[in-house]
C-alpha cells in the first residue's frame, strides 16, 4: 500500500448521508459515497421520503414509491452503500411535517450507526427545494444538540455550472442523434439553478475515479429520467460528474478531509 493509499484507508470509519428523495444521494455525492466505501468505510444512507411525488406523473403514488425505493436500493449498491433506510414521510411536505418526528428518525439513525461524518444538503437545498432545505435544517438541529458526541457535519452542494455542463453535453448528443433535446435534469428545467446559491466549498473532492459508478447509479433512478439530460450521457461524459463540493459546518472536521484535492 502506498502512502497515498494508506492515507485513504477508512477502515473502521462510518459515514451517514441524509437526504430527502431517491436520486439526491447519487447526484449530490455519489462519488464521495463510493470513494469512502472504496477506502473501507461503512457507508449508510437515510432517505426521508420515497419520492412518490416525483415527475413520473402517469404512475400512481404508491406504485411510484415502491419503484423508487427499489431504484435507490440498486443505486446504493452500485455506490458501495451498505445500509439504506427509507422512511415514509410525505414527499413534498417535509417543511410542514412535524419537525420533532423527522428529527427523531435522524437521531435514531445517528444513534444506531454512530457515524464519524454526516453529509446532508446545504442551506440552498441545491436549488431552493423546500424538502431539501427542511432536511438541511433538521439534520443541523439534531447534530447541534449532540455536543461532544456530534459527528463531523458536511453540507453537500452542487458545483455551480456543473449541471449546465451536463445539460449542454446531453443536448449536443441528442442533436447529433437527430433527437429532441433534453428538457430537464432530475425534474428541474433550469440547469443553471443547481448550485447557483451554494456556499463556497471548504472541501473539493475529485471523484473522477468513481464517476462511472456515479453515472450508473443515476441511471438506476429510471423513473426520474424522462426527457432527462442524464439519460444522454455516455460513460465518456461521466467525468462531468467528477467534482463534488462540501462545506464543513462548525469546526469538527472528519475523515473525508483526506479525500480533498
Ligand atoms: Zn431531492
Q: What is the DSSP track for the chain? A: --HHHHHT--TT-EEEEEESSTTHHHHHHHHHHHHHHHTT-EEEEEEEE--TTSS-TTS-HHHHHHHHHHHHHHHHHHTT--EEEEEEEPTT-GGGS-HHHHHHHHHHHHHHH--SEEEEE-TTHHHH-HHHHHHHHHHHHHHHT-GGGPPEEEEEEPPTTHHHHHHHHHHHHHHHTT-PPP-BBTTBS-GGGTTTTPPPPSEEEE-GGGHHHHHHHHHH-GGG-TTBGGGG--GGGGGGG-EEEEEEESS---GGGGGB-
Of 4-18, 56-70, 216-230, highest mean pLDDT? 216-230
What homologous superfamily is domain 3-249 in, according to CATH? Answer: LmbE-like (3.40.50.10320)
Every domain of the chain and the residues it spans: 3-249
Each residue's pLDDT tens digit, 91-102? 999 999 999 999
Residue 54's pLDDT band, with cuts at 50, 70 and 90, is confident
Q: Which residues pair with 244 in a beta bridge?
A: 205
Only one residue has cell 463540493, namely 245
| CA–CA–CA angle 222, 228, 230 (5° rounding) | 75
**CA–centroid distance, residue 9 to ligand 1 (Å):** 30
Distance from the alpha carbon of residue 4 to the mean position of ligand 1, in angstroms: 34
112 CA to middle of ligand 1, Å? 24
Q: How far is the CA of 24 from the centre of ligand 1 (A)?
A: 5
pLDDT at 166: 98
pLDDT value, residue 55? 67
| pLDDT of 6 above 90 | no
Place of cell 424538502: 131
Cβ atoms of 16 and 108 closer than 8 Å: no
Q: What is the pLDDT of residue 102?
A: 98
Question: What is the pLDDT at residue 59?
Answer: 76
d(CA 218, CA 78): 10
Residue 2 has pLDDT above 60, yes or no: no
**Digit-coded pLDDT (tens) for 118-170:** 999 999 999 999 999 999 999 999 999 999 999 999 999 999 999 999 999 99
Query: Distances in Å between the alpha carbon of 230 and those of 21, 32, 120, 189?
Result: 17, 19, 22, 13
What mean pLDDT value characterizes the chain?
95
How many angstroms is it from 6 CA to the middle of ligand 1? 34
Say what angle helices 61-78 and 24-38 make with each other, to 10 degrees: 30
pLDDT band of residue 7 (cuts 50, 70, 90) is confident
Q: How far is 127 from 210, CA to CA, in rounded Å?
A: 24
Read off the pLDDT band of 261 (50, 70, 90). confident
CB 168 within 8 A of CB 221: no
Q: How confident is the model at residue 57 (pLDDT cuts 50, 70, 90)?
A: low
Report the separation in Å between the CA atom of 132 and the middle of ligand 1, taken as the mean of its atom positions: 6
Cα(61) to centroid(ligand 1), Å? 16
Residue 34 predicted with pLDDT over 70? yes
pTM of the model: 0.96
Over range 54-80, report the average pLDDT: 89
237 CA to centre of ligand 1 in angstroms: 23
Q: How far is the CA of 92 from the centre of ligand 1 (A)?
A: 9
**CA of residue 23 to ligand 1 center, whole Å:** 7
Cell of 87: 422512511
pLDDT single digits (tens) 237-250: 999 999 999 999 98
Percent of the chain with pLDDT over 70: 96
In the reported structure, the alpha carbon of residue 261 is separated from the centroid of ligand 1 by a whole-number distance in angstroms of: 27
Average confidence (pLDDT) over 173-196:
96
Amino acid at each position: 500500500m502506498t502512502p497515498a493509499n494508506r492515507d485513504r484507508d477508512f477502515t473502521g470509519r462510518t459515514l451517514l448521508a441524509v437526504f430527502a428523495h431517491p436520486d439526491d444521494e447519487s447526484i449530490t455525492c455519489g462519488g464521495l459515497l463510493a470513494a469512502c466505501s472504496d477506502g473501507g468505510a461503512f457507508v449508510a444512507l437515510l432517505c426521508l421520503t420515497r419520492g412518490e411525488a416525483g415527475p413520473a406523473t402517469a404512475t400512481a403514488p404508491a406504485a411510484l414509491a415502491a419503484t423508487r425505493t427499489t431504484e435507490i436500493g440498486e443505486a446504493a449498491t452500485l455506490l458501495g452503500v451498505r445500509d439504506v433506510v427509507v422512511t415514509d414521510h410525505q414527499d413534498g411536505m417535509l417543511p410542514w411535517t412535524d419537525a420533532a418526528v423527522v428529527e427523531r428518525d435522524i437521531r435514531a439513525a445517528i444513534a444506531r450507526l454512530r457515524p464519524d461524518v454526516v453529509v446532508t444538503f446545504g442551506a440552498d437545498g441545491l436549488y431552493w427545494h423546500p424538502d431539501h432545505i427542511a432536511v438541511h435544517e433538521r439534520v443541523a438541529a439534531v447534530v447541534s444538540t449532540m455536543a461532544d458526541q456530534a459527528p463531523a457535519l458536511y453540507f453537500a452542494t452542487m458545483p455551480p455550472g456543473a449541471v449546465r455542463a451536463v445539460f449542454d453535453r446531453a443536448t449536443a448528443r441528442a442533436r447529433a442523434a437527430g433527437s429532441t433535446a433534453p428538457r430537464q435534469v432530475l425534474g428541474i428545467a433550469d440547469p443553471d439553478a443547481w448550485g447557483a446559491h451554494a456556499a463556497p466549498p471548504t472541501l473539493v473532492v475529485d471523484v473522477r475515479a468513481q464517476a462511472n459508478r456515479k453515472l450508473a447509479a443515476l441511471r438506476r433512478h429510471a423513473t426520474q429520467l424522462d426527457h432527462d439530460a442524464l439519460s444522454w450521457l455516455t460513460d465518456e461524459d461521466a467525468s462531468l460528474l467528477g467534482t463534488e463540493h462540501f462545506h464543513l459546518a462548525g469546526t469538527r472536521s472528519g475523515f473525508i478531509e483526506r479525500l480533498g484535492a
